[in-house]
């Protein structure tokens, strides 16, 4: 047997992947936000130092640049393990001032001075550490004081100020934050998986309970129903369909039990008659006439039992037949006239008047002609046999909604509306005593099976005047079939 797919396992893995993905995504977004803010603060500190150094540059008379830098005020630019660096160049690229943290003749590469805008860049510091620098290009203005006039600008020049510091502390902080976020996402996802597992087990408990309840139903307990007040709304349609199935099964089992009982009852009578005839023959074996009579009675009973068994076999064969018979367009008037001709004598004997009403004389029905004749013969024969004497039978051919219909109506004073649903059941007869030996209650059952083969249906209606109308009509309306 092919292994089934577990809904719980599928939901579990989907939710696990979703939780992990959500955790990783949230960690990534958080890391990006934190990294941007920390880098912004780091760059802001670099920019502040660069602007401080730029404010120390003075343009003297004659265009000479002077930097009023005192190492004591900014000791981070002194040579040390964690030294920072700065460099100031004029507009020609000549170094005006640089920090003492540069060892020997080392300077920043000239390629850093390509831009004339404020720029930030990751570099390698002169001592080999990872670093980050900022470059600004402020304008320095020469100021001259005159005793007769206020201070005024006479010349200006542009300088490049570059400040750099190690970024290992920033990278270390970002690494700790990234690790913490990943670890947090993993722990949260792990906790979420445990919660999901518990919730799935508890959430799917009604499904397991429903399965156990269905599994506990046995053929002798088909009256049990799985729908109760505690079942969740999501499972209610399933439970209701299971209850509907149990209703159909209970009905089918009851029908089969009734069918078995009916078959036994119908066969018991001819078999009992055969036994009685044989016992009489054995008891009066010296009487030739009695022996002949007993033999004839036994033969008649055997033929009756054979007819019953053959009818049951035919009915079983019809139920298993899936192949549709050859269908043609059959003119209903011709078929009805043929059947009525055969029943004219019986109708006269029963004092029953048959009134044909051919409102649609040209009406046709797609069917197998021989099978349709058998169906109509059973229906008309039943109507004549069970109609009260001196009553009338109406046989009508008409068209309704584009369909050809054939209806047979007769008086049925003893029938009720509840009897209509059992009309096609095997061996069903309104007379429960079964005193009628000529009819075993299989005519309408066979007619129903034949109609099903031809994709026709039988409709039973009981009017207020207690008249039973049996109508042959297509199983599907033309619009539905299209």
Average of pLDDT values for 90-107? 84
- Do 336 and 296 fall into the same domain? no
- Do 26 and 139 fall into the same domain? yes
DSSP letters for 257-318: HHHHHHHHHHHHHHHHHHHHHHHHHHHTTT-HHHHHHHHHHHHHHHHHHHHHHHHHHHHHHH
Residue 215 lies in a domain: no
Of the pLDDT bands very low, low, confident and very high (cuts 50, 70, 90), residue 146 is low
- Do 394 and 292 fall into the same domain? no
Q: pLDDT digit string (tens) for 394-446?
A: 999 998 887 889 999 999 988 888 888 878 777 666 654 444 545 556 778 87
Is the pLDDT at 129 greater than 60? The verdict is: yes
Asked if 365 contacts 359 with a C-beta cutoff of 8 angstroms, the reply is no
Domain boundary among 174, 195, 223: 174
Q: pLDDT digit string (tens) for 33-73?
A: 999 999 999 999 999 999 998 888 888 877 788 888 776 77
Separation CA 314–CA 318 (nearest Å):
6
The predicted pLDDT at position 439 comes to: 54
Of the pLDDT bands very low, low, confident and very high (cuts 50, 70, 90), residue 482 is very low
Q: pTM value?
A: 0.49
Residue 56 lies in a domain: yes
The predicted pLDDT at position 46 comes to: 92
Is the pLDDT at 450 greater than 90? The verdict is: no
Residue 359 lies in a domain: yes
- Do 395 and 454 fall into the same domain? yes
What is the percent of the chain with per-residue pLDDT over 70, rounded to a whole number? 86
Average of pLDDT values for 180-199? 88
- Do 81 and 138 fall into the same domain? yes
User: Residue 444 sits in which domain range?
Assistant: 328-481
Q: Which of 181-195, 245-259, 284-298, 434-448 has the lowest mean pLDDT?
A: 434-448
Of the pLDDT bands very low, low, confident and very high (cuts 50, 70, 90), residue 212 is confident
Is the pLDDT at 479 greater than 50? The verdict is: no
Long-range contacts of 23-27 (CB under 8 A, 24+ apart): 23/185, 23/186, 23/188, 23/189, 23/192, 24/182, 24/185, 26/185, 27/178, 27/181, 27/182, 27/184, 27/185
- Do 50 and 163 fall into the same domain? yes
Better pLDDT: 477 or 404: 404
Is the pLDDT at 343 greater than 60? The verdict is: yes
> How crowded is residue 104: how many other Cβ atoms within 10 Å of its Cβ?
6
Is the pLDDT at 383 greater than 70? The verdict is: yes
Read off the CATH number of the domain in which 128 is found. Answer: 3.30.450
> How crowded is residue 135: how many other Cβ atoms within 10 Å of its Cβ?
24
Read off the CATH number of the domain in which 243 is found. Answer: 1.10.287.130
Asked if 142 contacts 156 with a C-beta cutoff of 8 angstroms, the reply is yes
Of the pLDDT bands very low, low, confident and very high (cuts 50, 70, 90), residue 274 is confident
Q: Which of 141-155, 308-322, 416-430 has the lowest mean pLDDT?
A: 141-155
- Do 342 and 422 fall into the same domain? yes
Residue 195 lies in a domain: no
- Do 313 and 353 fall into the same domain? no
Domain boundary among 270, 299, 320: 320
Residue 187 lies in a domain: no
Separation CA 286–CA 291 (nearest Å):
8
> How crowded is residue 457: how many other Cβ atoms within 10 Å of its Cβ?
14
Instruction: Select the highest-mean-pLDDT range: 148-157, 252-261, 289-298, 376-385.
Output: 376-385
Quick one: CA dihedral 36, 39, 41, 44, positive or negative? Answer: negative
Domain boundary among 288, 320, 352: 320
425 backbone dihedrals φ, ψ, rounded to 5°? -75, 140
- Do 312 and 379 fall into the same domain? no
Better pLDDT: 362 or 319: 362
- Do 347 and 280 fall into the same domain? no
Residue 282 lies in a domain: yes
Better pLDDT: 146 or 81: 81
- Do 333 and 304 fall into the same domain? no
Is the pLDDT at 455 greater than 60? The verdict is: yes
Separation CA 226–CA 232 (nearest Å):
12
| Backbone Cα Rg of the chain | 53
Residue 4 lies in a domain: no
Is the pLDDT at 374 greater than 80? The verdict is: yes
- Do 29 and 74 fall into the same domain? yes
What is the percent of the chain with per-residue pLDDT over 90, rounded to a whole number? 19
The count of structural domains within the chain is: 3
Average of pLDDT values for 226-230? 80
Better pLDDT: 34 or 262: 34
Mean pLDDT of the chain: 82
β 139-144/130-136 pair status: unpaired
Residue 148 lies in a domain: yes
The predicted pLDDT at position 174 comes to: 92
Read off the CATH number of the domain in which 456 is found. Answer: 3.30.565.10
Average of pLDDT values for 301-323? 69
């Amino acid at each position: 047997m092919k292994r089934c797919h577990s809904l719980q396992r599928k939901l579990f893995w989907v939710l696990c992947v979703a939780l992990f993905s959500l955790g990783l995504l949230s960690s990534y977004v958080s890391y990006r936000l934190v990294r941007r803010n920390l880098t912004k603060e780091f760059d802001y500190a670099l920019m502040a130092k660069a602007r401080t150094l730029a404010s120390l540059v003075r343009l003297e008379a004659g265009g000479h640049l002077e930097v009023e830098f005192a190492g004591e005020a900014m000791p981070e630019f002194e040579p040390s393990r964690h030294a920072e660096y700065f460099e100031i160049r004029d507009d020609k690229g000549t170094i005006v001032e640089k920090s003492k943290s540069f060892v020997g003749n080392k300077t920043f590469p000239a390629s850093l001075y390509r831009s004339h805008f404020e720029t930030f860049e990751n570099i390698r510091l002169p001592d080999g550490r990872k670093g980050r620098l900022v470059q600004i290009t402020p304008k320095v203005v020469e100021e001259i004081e005159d005793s007769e006039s206020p201070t005024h600008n006479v010349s200006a020049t542009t300088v490049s100020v570059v400040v750099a510091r190690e970024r290992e502390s920033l990278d270390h902080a970002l690494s700790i934050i990234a690790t913490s976020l990943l670890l947090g996402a993993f722990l949260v996802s792990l906790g979420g998986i445990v919660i999901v597992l518990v919730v799935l087990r508890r959430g799917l408990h009604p499904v397991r309970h429903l399965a156990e309840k269905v599994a506990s139903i046995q053929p002798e307990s088909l009256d049990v129903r799985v729908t109760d007040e505690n079942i969740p709304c999501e499972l209610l349609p399933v439970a209701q369909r299971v209850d509907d199935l149990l209703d159909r099964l209970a009905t089918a089992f009851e029908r089969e039990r009734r069918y078995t009982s009916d078959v036994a009852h119908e066969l018991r009578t001819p078999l009992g008659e055969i036994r009685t005839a044989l016992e009489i023959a054995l008891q009066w074996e010296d009487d030739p006439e009695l022996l002949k009579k007993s033999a004839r009675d036994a033969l008649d009973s055997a033929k009756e039992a054979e007819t019953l068994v053959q009818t049951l076999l035919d009915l079983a064969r019809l139920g298993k037949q899936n192949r549709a018979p050859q269908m043609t367009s059959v003119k209903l008037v011709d078929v009805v006239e043929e059947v009525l001709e055969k029943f004219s004598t019986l109708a006269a004997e029963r004092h029953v008047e048959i009134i044909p009403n051919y409102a649609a004389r040209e009406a046709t029905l797609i069917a197998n002609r021989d099978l349709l004749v058998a169906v109509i013969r059973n229906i008309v024969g039943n109507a004549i046999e069970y109609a009260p004497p001196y009553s009338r039978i109406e046989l009508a051919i008409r068209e309704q909604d584009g369909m050809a219909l054939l209806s047979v109506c007769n008086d049925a004073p003893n029938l009720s509306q509840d009897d209509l649903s059992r009309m096609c059941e095997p061996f069903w007869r309104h007379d429960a005593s079964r005193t009628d030996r000529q009819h075993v209650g299989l005519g309408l059952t066979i007619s129903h099976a034949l109609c099903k083969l031809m994709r026709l249906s039988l409709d039973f209606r009981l009017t207020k005047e207690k008249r039973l109308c049996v109508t042959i009509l297509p199983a599907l309306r033309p619009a539905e079939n299209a």
